[in-house]
Chains A and B, each alone.
Chain A
């Protein structure tokens, strides 16, 4: 956490006092550390265009902008928005910005003839905001328009509060919206789960396979099976966004697998699951085994099961596993999954989408390794390529995500918020590089990062070095070490110092330092590269290293 802590400044086009009050109420209720401040009445454009405004000189870590449909009363809104987007880039500094999507007031005149044009105007503004967000990792959208569609404008709006106090939403609506906005702020620092471990009976389908048989279970495009089919569709979508699915079911494995291949309405396939724990063992045992197989911590798992007994046992035995708040009625499944904050991601990266495929690739590598005559042969046969690229606006979001999510091969567990991370990027005495790793089996994407400090004339300091567990065991870490040492030697550097802070998770990082012949003393390990012999004591690697642009 940087020195500005959890302070956020709220901007609107109308009165903002109600928003800030509701947001601060929400932070109290949820024991969140965030404190919200009001940038003032109709502040959104004025405060950003003026370089000496109190907002621009403030120390707040986050800026939140929520605009009402009243902005469309002004014919010049679109040009105001362009001015805003042009200025916000230079004003933002290392802050993170949240900006609301827009919607048209459904109470406008001539709704039959003019309503579509009003809606289109809001959609065009949202398209512009979406495009801007996709180009700037620090600019996130708050989909207020979707929130209004979900809960209904008539339920959220009260004309008396607008006329009396320039509130677009009444105080009760603001309380709900505030809780929802706070979820976005929490997602800034939170590492979401990576794996969804899901039960079958009465979770993926209605009924119990062992009792009702494959014909008796309910999963269908209508009727009682609809909720389960929609739930499968949501899980499939989450898989496509990078979450791993794991099967945890007390069933006979062959009978369950047959449902996935033969039931005509099943959307999920047996192969959609990265691992299977389908047997009669306790589910916590299966989950522990699978966590080890996937080289993931158990705290990266979300457990979904209709049985309160199973959920309770999982919580008692593995309290680090997140438990899905299973609804009392299956009709609430999709809503509950949508409301599950353990899955909150502010941005989905290319590497997120590659994740499920990369676990499939690892299974293929295991087959290759089993057929190889030696470990050296195996490494050579992979033809691993490490593409090293300097941090840039294009890869910034992913590199930051790596720092938040990597636990095992990580020299320490620093979790900088986006602002602190961007401060690192702008530090002239520091460089951050990412590694894009691929081989003949597949492309894992940007799955490694190194942060190098140049404070001293004769030594470099590796502030952090991390690799996703998906690419461990391919000698990539030693390839990077050789690249770094060669670069340092060319720069006339004598030694490379590695910062290391051990914790319960990062034994693989310590193993790497020790295999490289380094001794960790205190929180540091030093690699001497002043003589010609350092390479001889270094483990070999089998990767081709290429330095590229981002």
Chain B
């Protein structure tokens, strides 16, 4: 388990989605580069960097940057 780090979090999102900033308007299925394959990549990178395990059955529930951040913080106990 690692502490939450906003810079690392944002870098993973931006790299996976090929966007300059993790804009609040980004959303899986709506943002062209955020398809299900990119989503799995984001989840894996977050798991690897922060030492957590997401519930992949609920993958569709965290479909925005904010929901991903909230879910990740929850897994980190924050």
Q: Which A residues fall within an 8 A CB radius of B?
A: 17-18, 20-21, 160-161, 163-165, 167, 170-172
Contact = CB atoms under 8 A, between A and B. Distances in A.
Contact of B56 (A18, A20, A21, A163): A163
Contacts of A164: 40, 56-57, 59
A21 B37 contact: yes
B1 interface: no
Interface of B: 35-38, 40-41, 44-45, 48, 53, 56-57, 59
Contact of A21 (B38, B57, B59): B38
Contact of A160 (B41, B48, B56): B56
Interface SS of chain B: helix
Given A163-B56, A164-B56, A164-B57, A171 B36 contact: no
A18 B59 CA distance: 16
A104 B27 CA distance: 38
Nearest to A158: B44
Given A17-B35, A18-B37, A161-B56, 6 more contacts: A18-B41, A161-B44, A164-B56, A164-B59, A171-B40, A172-B45
B27 to A, nearest CB: 19
15 contacts: A17-B35, A17-B36, A18-B37, A20-B37, A161-B44, A163-B56, A164-B56, A164-B57, A165-B40, A167-B40, A170-B44, A171-B40, A171-B41, A171-B44, A171-B45
Contacts of B44: 161, 170-172
Contacts of B56: 160-161, 163-164
Most buried by A among B36, B44, B56, B59: B44
A21 B36 contact: no
Contacts of B36: 17, 165
Contacts of A21: 37-38, 41
A172 B36 CA distance: 15
A20 B36 CA distance: 13
A177 to B, nearest CB: 14
Nearest to A173: B44
A530 B35 CA distance: 68
Nearest to A15: B37
A280 B75 CA distance: 63
Contacts of B40: 18, 161, 164-165, 167, 171
